[in-house]
Amino acid sequence: MSVFKGFSIKLPVYTVITPQTGRSFDVRSLTVAEVSKLKSSLVTPSRATIIVDNMLWDSIDSKPEGWTVDIFKKNVTIKDREALLYGLYHVSFGDSRSISVYCTSCGQQQTIDIKLGSHFGMEAYPGSAGIKNSYIVGRASGENPIDEEIEVSIKKDQLKKSKTTAPKGMPAEIAATENLDISKEDEEFGVVNKVETAIDAPSEENNSDNIIDKVLRIELPISKVFAYVKQPTIADEESLLNTIPYATKKQSDVSTDTLIIEKFEMIKPDGKSEFVVNRQDIIWGYEELSPLDRDEIFKTYNENFGKYGINLNVGFECKSCGAISTNDLDITAHFFRIIASS
Ligand SMILES: [Zn+2]
């Protein structure tokens, strides 16, 4: 008698480009067992997030050489994860969906049928090596239209390269005069490079301005405190969630919101700086701020980091009042909803 050892099924695969770090991953479909495991993890939001992160890593078909799950988590941002979740959702549950939307004019809720893929859009961070390389190839073959943001980023790389290769005795700035304006622009923004970099992986992108290494120092208008704003990775999020395992959805949302703040800096009367670096202290400090200070933090984040990601804008005509509305679907919420109803 033969013993059944399981099918050898080749599960379908979906290729995802991460919008912020510009990497390409092949995500394979979840199995029935994995969906059940996810479903039983939905009790606490912290737990569910960590299980999804691990499952994303498991579902990547050809993993980058030398990578472990920890390296993966340090090199994938929270915005990148949305793209990966979209791929996982699409490849596991298909493209056709009945979704519930709200009319932005009369507020009525209704159900419409859509093809997810036809609403998918992505804005890629122009600084990542992967995005720049494919852009250069696309431009050379005449397929890509000129993208000013990526052009600026490529010029910055050339400036960095010429700085390191400038002949002795010649200031690098003179060797690359035409690009000077770009580095000045960065100084105005207060771009500082993190001393300890998040990347443990063998790095092939020394010349690119990796979004994970970017930190902006901004002065808050009311408190005059300086906030250091960055793009958190899923490792940053997990280390926070591990400290609040029983948090409700709302509590964990407020806490993860503050992850975009790396630290605060206060200038004391004697002119010396004092830094707030402990995560719990950052959350307390954040809660004491004026809403205007908070808005400044989120505005800086959105303009420099948050706008790079995927979007799923669904336009529809209201069955009740006839107005045309657009809803931006939250892929993470949709992903968990479909898991819960499977
Ligand atoms: Zn309406």
What lies within 8 Å, CB to CB, of 325 at 6+ separation is 101, 102, 103, 104, 105, 315, 316, 318
CA-closest candidate to residue 7, choices 41, 39, 32: 32
CA-closest candidate to residue 314, choices 287, 300, 334, 294: 334
At 335 the three-state DSSP class reads helix
What is the residue type of 255?
S
Least confident residue range of 168-177, 244-253, 329-338: 168-177
Least confident residue range of 93-102, 151-160, 216-225, 253-262: 151-160
CA of 101 to the centre of ligand 1 (A): 11
- Residue 158's pLDDT is 79
- Residue 175's pLDDT is 39
- Residue 151's pLDDT is 85
CA of 89 to the centre of ligand 1 (A): 29
What lies within 8 Å, CB to CB, of 296 at 6+ separation is 218, 220, 221, 227
Least confident residue range of 116-125, 138-147, 251-260: 138-147
- Residue 196's pLDDT is 40
- Residue 164's pLDDT is 57
- Residue 172's pLDDT is 44
CA of 313 to the centre of ligand 1 (A): 17
CA of 100 to the centre of ligand 1 (A): 13
- Residue 1's pLDDT is 66
The answer to whether the CB of 198 falls within 8 A of the CB of 213 is yes
Domains of the chain: which residue ranges?
A: 13-123+319-341, 129-307
Strand order in the sheet with 324-328: 120-123, 309-317, 324-328
- Residue 203's pLDDT is 44
pLDDT surpasses 90 at 156: no
CA of 108 to the centre of ligand 1 (A): 6
The predicted model gives 186-194 an average pLDDT of 48
CA of 115 to the centre of ligand 1 (A): 22
CA of 327 to the centre of ligand 1 (A): 12
Its pTM stands at: 0.80
Task: Tell me which of 127 and 57 has the higher pLDDT.
Answer: 57
CA of 315 to the centre of ligand 1 (A): 12
Burial string for 55-90 (b: 16+ CB within 10 Å, else e) reads: bbbebbeeeeeebeeebbbbbbbbbbbbbbbbbbbb
Q: For residue range 25-60, what is the model confidence (pLDDT) as tens digits?
A: 999 999 999 999 889 887 777 888 899 999 999 999
Q: For residue range 246-279, what is the model confidence (pLDDT) as tens digits?
A: 788 788 888 888 999 999 999 999 999 999 999 9
DSSP one-letter code for 62? S
CA of 114 to the centre of ligand 1 (A): 18
The chain-wide mean pLDDT, for the chain, equals 85
pLDDT surpasses 50 at 281: yes
What is the residue type of 169?
G
What percent of the chain is modeled with pLDDT above 90?
58
The answer to whether the CB of 255 falls within 8 A of the CB of 323 is no
CA of 109 to the centre of ligand 1 (A): 8
Q: Label residue 142 by pLDDT band (50, 70, 90).
A: confident
CA of 103 to the centre of ligand 1 (A): 5
- The span from the CA of 275 to the CA of 25, in Å, is 38
